[in-house]
Structure 1
């Protein structure tokens, strides 16, 4: 008896044995997370699926695996079809005597960084140190409320070009440090990780893919998700302490105040969970949802189309989810719609008009009649502001094509 071979795969017979790649497994409630770290591919399987993976990994044939599962569960399972699914995920190295073509593994950022070199990032004492540093900074701020920075602190120089260039340099440095914190923490948990540019609605962001952290214990997962915010707070706390020791009115004091504000500015953005920020992944983990954003978006689309077409339209995709996920997804879909509409409205009403005005003024500020300083300021605005917008477009298009 044989099973028809899938396209591009060796034929699977009842006597066929398979060789699996090195897979990680973690129990998660009633399901099991199974994945391959090398390719960053992970799936949630029921207990029978995880058991089938275990039996196949022990060298049992398709028939013997099906027989063992029938004895344990009382159900007839199509193990040949299951093997094809595993092969499509890249989990199977060989089917019988035939090798299964393997996809190229994604590149990791800073591959020379080894888990044992950054193991301290997962030490339980580290959050305590971050908390102590933050409390010290808050205590200083309570005693010196005048140190709390405002938007005017960003305008620390009368030269707009200098403000833009230093702001961009400090902002991107802090952003890279934020993502590096994610990478280091994930690497400590044995996850490769990769830093790259991305877009979140109208925002150009730097993001770290830490796929594989799903296999780590919850404390390690939450530490990896919150590492960037912890670093931002730590940097802001240190800047507050240094600012308190610096004479008011000096250039150093003004620059430190600007840097402090730049370190604090990303924190409100993290609350925008509808753009899949760090706190989104914390929320997804704590609610036990597999794909909070994707399921929330699907439910929002269903609700919108149902409102347009009436009650007879399709079936709510959230009904297939377990009750606890269904409640979280439906609540998140409201946040997703309201937040997205608010962000796009702000883009249309404020951000785009401001950017166009600044770019137009900069373009008019170029020319022989504006002097060296005027031309330098105009060029800095065009390069900095225009460059960010062009980079957003390029990143959005590249990621769209990749998706």
Structure 2
């Protein structure tokens, strides 16, 4: 049987020269991050790999690149295989006289937004301003503890439909603003960014893909990761300062107090790093891990399989342990994170089965039974609002989960 795909590949001879796409390169410890921003494809390479990319990009042939690397390092490198790997990654535009087909780049959100429009988002003064605003709000709360929000602040109206609809509207508006903050800071660093819906266990989330931020300096990377949290804290701080100037008991005060709680509610979720929240990416960056979630999941799976096969509750290392191929500092972080991953996932799924699911089913059943002419206009409107709000979120979760599952496949 002939390999048609292999026959279609352009031949790579010692004299072959390649044309690379526009690639970004950044040193990261002992390795180099090399990637193509247009396709959001990035890999970590040793220094020799980054040097090979540089030489090929300068127009040297495959043979000359290998000779130069041998002269610089004293080692032999298979540049032919390396060029094939670069081609598979989409980094090569042409091999010799043969152009390489290129896939369409994924679309960016808000493509009209240019880096120079939002350059202010990376200004070092901005975090200072956020810190000043947050400090002022904390001082006000210490002096006025009555402004601390509680769950009763969400119940600003006796009509459950109004509470649900207003809470959903405010929550989704703040969620969109949270993701736009990620997009703006990433775009300021030259990263396209793309916002879309996603799922994290039982949670429906909006997420921003900022692939490419790996090429930016650490300060810019952390700013992009923490931009959403900073926005939530800034909004909450502003609301605290406004509430301190208003008379209590008014409808406006109750609405702003509810908005304050809505702005703060997503922040505890960020601590759930096992669901790849914003703080997860901060943790991954600070620990120097390439794929903390993927490596942690692989390690946890290997431990489970070894326990099942050995039938002994004893953790061992060696063959079958994927973390052994990682550097020591990554290995320690991955093994610790795997414990957080397993425990956190189990706790979330248990809470969903014991609390969230029964509550949702009960509310939906009550709302369905509340429909009918005998319940009047207000009763029907209230039940319809619950069905649309709560049922819509659950349907949207299912659709998003199924769509993303098909995309991954």
For normalisation by structure 1, the TM-score amounts to: 0.98
Shift of 1:73: 1.2
Shift of 1:6: 3.7
Q: Distance in 2 between matches of 1:167 and 1:143?
A: 28
4+ residue runs over 6 A deviation: none
2:335 to 330, 339, 351: 330
- Over 3 Å counting, the alpha-carbon distance change for 1:11 and 1:132 in structure 2 is same
- Residue equivalent to 1:185: 185
Number of equivalent positions = 400
Contact (CA 8 Å) 1:195, 1:207: kept in 2 or not? yes
2:369 to 364, 376, 390: 364
2:321 to 302, 313, 316: 316
- Over 3 Å counting, the alpha-carbon distance change for 1:284 and 1:368 in structure 2 is same
- Residue equivalent to 2:124: 124
- Residue equivalent to 1:153: 153
Contact (CA 8 Å) 1:196, 1:207: kept in 2 or not? yes
Q: Could you say what the CA RMSD is over the residues aligned between the two structures, in angstroms?
A: 1.2
Moved more, 66-75 or 41-50: 66-75
- Residue equivalent to 1:382: 387
Shift of 1:247: 1.2
Contact (CA 8 Å) 2:119, 2:188: kept in 1 or not? yes
Q: Distance in 1 between matches of 2:104 and 2:285?
A: 29
Q: Distance in 1 between matches of 2:208 and 2:16?
A: 40
- Residue equivalent to 2:302: 302
Q: Distance in 2 between matches of 1:289 and 1:244?
A: 44
Q: Map Cα deviations across residues 306-347 of structure 1 (whole Å, 9 max, x no partner).
A: 111116995100000000000000000000000000000000
Shift of 1:8: 4.0
- Residue equivalent to 2:238: 238
Shift of 1:27: 0.2
Query: What secondary structure is seen at the aligned counterpart in 2 of 1:13?
Result: coil
Shift of 1:104: 0.7
- Residue equivalent to 1:346: 351
Contact (CA 8 Å) 1:21, 1:93: kept in 2 or not? yes
Contact (CA 8 Å) 1:5, 1:12: kept in 2 or not? no
Q: Distance in 2 between matches of 1:6 and 1:235?
A: 57
Are residue 391 (structure 1) and residue 370 (structure 2) matched? no
Contact (CA 8 Å) 2:133, 2:237: kept in 1 or not? yes
Shift of 1:177: 0.3
- Over 3 Å counting, the alpha-carbon distance change for 1:365 and 1:43 in structure 2 is same
Q: Map Cα deviations across residues 341-395 of structure 1 (whole Å, 9 max, x no partner).
A: 0000000000000000000000000000000000000000000000000000000
Contact (CA 8 Å) 1:6, 1:84: kept in 2 or not? no
Map 1:248-327 to 2 at 5 A.
Answer: 248-310=248-310, 314-327=319-332
For normalisation by structure 2, the TM-score amounts to: 0.96
Shift of 1:396: 0.3
Moved more, 321-330 or 73-82: 73-82
